[in-house]
Amino acid sequence: MPLSAADRDYLLKSIRNVPDFPKPGIQFKDITTLVGDPKAFGLTILHFAERYADEKIDFVVGAESRGFIVGAPLAIALGVGFVPIRKPGKLPFTTVSEKYALEYGFDEVQMHIDAFCGKQNARVLFVDDLIATGGTAAASIDLIQKVGAKCVEACFVVNLFALGGAEKIKKLTNFYTILDVDGD
């Protein structure tokens, strides 16, 4: 079921803008205020759950750390497992890694090699709170494919469309976002 304009407006107003974080000139979109509001958080999870109810998803994958906040309750709502993607050194078992470029250097994400419990061609939904340049999401989708699963869609609460991440992800998999914002 599509969200009404009033629901989208409510969600947008539930997100706090933090100026000059993590560095001057950046307007950080803070979803902790959205997840702290039971109506906004519930609306977000229920909307995603309705969207993916008939997609035969096997696992929800969330990127560290705000992807966990959205992904874990979504996995419960869909009745599937949740798989975390983390920064290096945070997972205790054998991992696969993917490096990606940042504005000033590189970063890396990892997941367990057996994250999908041996299920070949598992249908996976990638979720994160926000997409900006798309580096973390693209690396995460690459990891999903490395271990033999299929990312059927990447979904986000917020898309900062001016930063171009959505276009990068659309080349890799299907893309969905609840809120498109210009970054202000």
Cα torsion 116, 121, 122, 123: sign: positive
Choose, from 66, 98, 123, 153, the residue flagged as catalytic.
66
Q: Are 124 and 151 in contact (CB under 8 A)?
A: yes
Q: Which residues pair with 108 in a beta bridge?
A: 99
3 state SS of 98: strand
Question: Does residue 55 carry a catalytic annotation?
Answer: no
Question: Does residue 103 carry a catalytic annotation?
Answer: yes
Give the HSE-up count for residue 6: Cα atoms under 13 Å, Cβ half-sphere: 1
**pLDDT tens-place values along the chain, 184 residues long:** 689 999 999 999 999 999 998 889 888 999 999 999 999 999 999 999 999 999 999 999 999 999 999 999 999 999 999 999 999 999 999 999 999 987 677 899 999 999 999 898 999 999 999 999 999 999 999 999 999 999 999 999 999 999 999 999 999 999 999 999 986 5
Choose, from 8, 55, 64, 103, the residue flagged as catalytic.
103
Q: How many of the other CB atoms lie within 10 Å of CB of 177?
A: 19
